[in-house]
Amino acid sequence: MGIFPNRYGLSPAECSRYVSTVRLDRSSLGGQLCPGGRHILCDPSAKYRSIDGSCNNLENPHWGSAFTAYNRILLPEYTDGIQSPKKEFGVHALPNPRLVSATLSSRRTDQQDADKTLAFMQWSRFVSHDLSFTPTRKMVWTKAPIRCCEPDGNWLAPRYVHPDCQAIRVPDDDTDYSQHWVRCLDYVRSMTVLRSDCSLGPAEQMNQVSHFLDASNVYGSTQADSRRIRSFEAGQLRVARHNDRDYMPRNTDDDDLYVSGDQRINGDVQAAAMQTLWLREHNRVARALAKLNPHWSDETIYQEARRIVVAEIQHVTYHEWLPLLIGKRYARTIADRLPRNQSDDGLYNENSEPGVYNEVATSVLSFAQSLRQGSLSLVPEDDDAQKSNESLIELAASFYKPRLLEDAETLDGLVRGFARQSSRKLDLSLVVDLSSQLYKTNDSAAGLDRLSFDIQRGRDHGLADYNDYRHLCGLRQAKSFDDFLDHTPGDVDLVVGGLAERSIEDAAIGPTFGCLIAAQFLRTRRADRFFYDSTRQPKPFTTNQMAELKKATLARIFCDNGDNIAKMQSNVFLKPQVRNELQSCQNFDAIERIDLTKWIENIAY
């Protein structure tokens, strides 16, 4: 970060600290625009969480709601202390993002994880999409997207470069891009929003979904999104029927795309497959509740089914995914603080702000991209290896083609592939589909580079250096890096340093990312009044209902919501092996199913 004083004699860091003491909530501007300035009426006895996350915290009803600022683990580091990102030129220059990515990718090892599956990778993406979605800036008057490069990958003429552009320069000798004469990769700065405490600055980026683990990617984070995907009949979500199967409804503006709570699911066929399973799960639960409680209204059925689906997602995340991601030691740190019984008030703390950490949303959760495979096996029911090798979808061929799902056997093939195909090992090397072909279309000379984008976004958001987070987590700071482009450890971006770390003990990630994710998911649990095992919510689940919800597994979701899935291992994040063998989906002892009769109203309440 810059250390030179400005004309007032303050360094950028001092300037940043000073302007942060200036409050806007008592000004005419702040009264209208500050999160706390918006008057929200909350019903303390409301049984169900809101769609946008508001009113979760009754004292601060805007906390955790959509379109509010991320929180920070460390103070932002902008070159000017306010909003100017670190750059590759000028004072305190940082290495070019594409050069870093290309250099690291040149050491591609293509290591496969011996134990973890693509389900582990895809759940990591699913959770990331539930917690965060950072919008980019648009043209002020037209709201049109900002273009920073020519369609052929060349630079725009200087007079056409928008101030919010931070396009990534492609080196002249780039192995992947030079053959297409690509010199410029698009990057538009993220949208900012007033800080949650309504102080003046430095810049904070916006999260346009709710900050809670609340299935916002399934149900949406605005009333408009919610209404668009509901049928308003028997608590169901809208579907499109194809070959007697339910899929997400079509987008009226583009029939090749789906409509859902999160439009990112159209980006590739794997994201669309997972979203389809949860759409079907909601409707399956809603149908069962309607039969058990025929007097319930559409709204009651929808809300009760939504509560159950959110609980399933939270249980899978905390009890199946997190222990494998951060290791049992870190997972125990979170679990030991969870309520032991229904009489316990639980972990909820009304003084804990639920805002997702900028560092986690921007850099840490992007680790999932490293785990992705370029070729997706469509695994047949008999698990014939030869047939799996013959039936493949190339990842790049599925970008913005989600309706590939509707081809015969594709959804089930992908679901079995989730559970049986290995993920790649965590490292700095991404498959070529992501390192130079990301979202490539017929109209573009080449695709984007995911790692370059993540590096540039971390700088745009003013994230501190990797070493600063190691220090925060009580780890020894890195002193040197071999072959790191003539730069020092103080230049290393968080996403690069975190991906470069060796995984610890029984975790899938290294100590810095593990530390930050543990902090995030403790906060995500602690600040959510409606967390599924919280007794502080107006309508806690009963003891019998909680016992059923704790049976939730992703394996059962796969079994119940595929087209014709007959076998599955009980833990789909790990490959079939001893003590995790493939079982019949009809074996409810091995792969338990939630007994929804515990929701019959005259029994449950």
d(CA 99, CA 82) in angstroms, rounded, equals: 27
The enclosing H or E element of 255 equals strand 254-258
Classify the C-alpha dihedral 285-291-292-296 as positive or negative. positive
Query: Parallel, antiparallel, or unpaired for β 422-424 and 112-117?
Result: antiparallel
Distance CA 575, CA 416 (A): 11
Which of 176, 35, 158, 30 has its CA nearest to residue 102? 176
Q: What CA–CA distance (Å, rounded) separates 449 from 439? A: 9
Closest listed residue to residue 472, CA positions, set 81, 73, 86, 78: 73
> How far apart, in whole angstroms, are the C-alpha atoms of residue 71 and residue 356?
6
Q: Are 463 and 362 in contact (CB under 8 A)?
A: yes
Q: Which two tokens stand for residue 41?
A: 């009426």
Chain Cα centroid distance, residue 375: 22
Catalytic annotation on 129? yes
Q: Which helix (H) or strand (E) holds 604?
A: helix 601-604
Q: How far apart are CA 18 and CA 12, in angstroms?
A: 10
48 half-sphere exposure, CB direction, 13 A CA radius: 15
Strand partners of residue 207 = 68
Q: Are 348 and 528 in contact (CB under 8 A)?
A: yes
CA distance 32 to 25: 9
Asked if 15 and 82 count as a contact pair (C-beta separation under 8 A), the reply is yes
Catalytic pick among 129, 282, 315, 461: 129
Question: Alpha-carbon distance 576 to 148, whole Å?
Answer: 47
DSSP letters, 423-445, are EEPSSS---HHHHT-BT--TTSS
DSSP letter at 577?
Answer: B
Of 584, 428, 562, nearest to 497 by C-alpha is 428
**Which of the residues are catalytic?**
129
